[in-house]
């Protein structure tokens, strides 16, 4: 709260209350923050093209019979060696498992060619989740 020095009752040194809010510092801070966010926002997006390295992790010990889904560059999908389609992927996986294993706990291994379109890969991932297969592992080339 500011004070105005002037005489009391019109005298030379009277103090009168100033009830106006000074918003200039607030506006200055907001403009600086606006400029910072305008400069920083484009830097937050990722536009770098990268080639992901092959996997070098060791294989797990004593896994159950693995179920592999292969995706070719053309977008064709295979369960093991048998062709499948994106619309029938869930049913074909259940047939492949024989109904004796729990789909929620079943680990599915996806083998995708490095030239597969990302949209095709995500379509397979979404279809697996829609059908209750949540444990998915990606297979990479072993460097050793």
Query: Measured in Å, how far apart are the chain's first and last C-alpha atoms?
Result: 74
Q: Best-predicted range by mean pLDDT among 11-25, 39-53, 66-80, 98-112?
A: 66-80
Q: What are phi and psi of 5, to 5 degrees?
A: -90, 115
Hey, is 17 helix, strand or coil? Answer: strand
Give the global pTM. 0.53
Tokens of 48: 């770098």
Least confident of 20-34, 43-57, 107-121: 43-57
Give residue limits of the domains in the chain: 2-44, 67-138
DSSP labels, 62-118: SPPSPEEEEE-TT--EEETTEEE-GGGHHHHHHHHHTT-S-TTT-EEEEEE-TT--H
67-138 CATH? 3.30.420.270
Long-range contacts of 96-99 (CB under 8 A, 24+ apart): 96/67, 97/67
- CB burial of residue 66 (10 Å; 0-12, 13-18, 19+): middle
Per residue in 24-51, pLDDT (tens digit) is 999 999 999 999 988 888 776 655 555 6
């Amino acid at each position: 709260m500011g004070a105005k020095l002037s005489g009391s009752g019109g005298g030379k040194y009277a103090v009168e209350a100033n009830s106006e809010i000074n918003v200039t510092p607030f506006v200055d801070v907001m403009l600086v923050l606006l400029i910072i966010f305008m400069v920083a926002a484009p830097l937050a997006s990722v536009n770098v093209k990268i080639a992901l390295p092959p996997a070098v992790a060791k294989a797990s010990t004593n896994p159950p019979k693995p179920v592999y889904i292969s995706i070719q560059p053309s977008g064709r999908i295979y369960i093991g060696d048998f062709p499948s389609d994106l619309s029938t992927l869930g049913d074909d996986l259940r047939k492949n498992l024989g109904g004796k294993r729990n789909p929620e706990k079943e680990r599915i291994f996806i083998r995708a060619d490095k030239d597969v379109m990302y949209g095709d890969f995500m379509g397979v991932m979404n279809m697996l989740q829609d059908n209750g297969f949540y444990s998915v592992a990606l297979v990479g080339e072993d460097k050793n």
